[in-house]
Amino acid sequence: MAATEERYISLLTDFGFKRIFGTAPNKDLLINFLNSLFDGRKVIKDLKYNNSEHVGDIYTERKAIFDVYCESIDGEKFIVEMQNASQKYLKDRTIFYSTYPIREQAPKGDAWDYRLSPVYTVALVNHDMKEESFDEQEISHQVQLCDTTTKRVFYDKLEFIYVEVIKFNKTEDELVTLYDKWLYALKNLANLTARPTALRDKIFDRLFQVAEIAKFTPTELREYEDSLKHYRDLKNSLDTAEEKGRAQGRAEGLVEGRAQGIDIGLAQGRAEGRAEGRAEGINEGLSKGIMLTAKNLKMMGLSVADIIKATGLKEEEIAKL
């Protein structure tokens, strides 16, 4: 489906995410979202956008390009990233990114007491991180440096917040908090054709206003369609890889299951064979014993009738002895 067939942009695309959260005219949307995320732990009154491209030191010259990088009036630094694809070293990346706003606080010259302003890295992750240290039932995860014994926070000015957007499955009727509403919009905005009742707050008036595709300039529309294509190509590739993985897993499981079935069948066959062999051996032994007994009784001069009563053999069997 072409972008023009949709009414609102997808916030999961690079263009959509940066248009809503990464531009100064829309900073009220980012402030509102972050305040809903911190839920009273922190109240952001205003933000200014900083340069989102940073170059490393003279040894690496490694660049870091943030989706959104801003600073509060209190000097707190905020990095906000959208990550659609699974990345093996996502944790390393977010920690590496946090070093830029830390190092840039060092003033030129020798006189500095090393006092730092807080740095917050918010990663909106559109896939299951499968992180062992996280509560699997939770969507948002707050990570700080802490003492491993007491579990108390050791340093509260460096924080990483990971939001597994893909796990958010509430329906419109289940939206209670402002944070719920933002996650719903993040995940579903492009699929909406009309304003849901739950998203009729004043702040969402602004969201729907700037997210309406019909108001885009031709250049903006082209940029959005390119971004949307990239997002869909990425998603299709991931879905295909996941489906192939499931198919391979099913095939391997089937082979393994058949092998296990053969092993179990062989084991059962061996057990049944042993049991059957034991039974046959017992029967053969009993038969030989009875015949020997009958032969001895016949040699002792007992009548055929008495031998039949004693052994259960037939008259013709006794006659052959």
Over the stretch 127-152, which tens digit does the pLDDT of each residue have? 999 999 999 999 999 999 999 999 99
Over the stretch 164-185, which tens digit does the pLDDT of each residue have? 999 999 999 999 999 999 999 9
Position with higher pLDDT, 280 vs 101: 101
Q: Which of 20, 12, 117 is nearest to 68 (CA)?
A: 20
Mean local confidence (pLDDT), 215-229: 90
Model pLDDT, residue 2 = 46
CA dihedral 83, 88, 89, 91 (to 10 degrees): 60
Position with higher pLDDT, 23 vs 54: 23
Share of the chain above pLDDT 70, in %: 81
Mean local confidence (pLDDT), 86-105: 92
Q: Which of 57, 53, 77, 55 is nearest to 65 (CA)?
A: 53
First to last CA, the chain: 96
Backbone angles phi, psi at 153, to 5 degrees: -65, 125
Position with higher pLDDT, 234 vs 213: 213
Model pLDDT, residue 1 = 43
**Residue 260: in which H helix or E strand, if any?**
helix 218-299
Over the stretch 187-207, which tens digit does the pLDDT of each residue have? 999 999 888 999 999 999 999
Rounded alpha-carbon distances, angstroms, from residue 305 to 23, 42, 312, 321: 114, 108, 10, 15
Most confident of 64-68, 85-89, 148-152, 298-302: 148-152
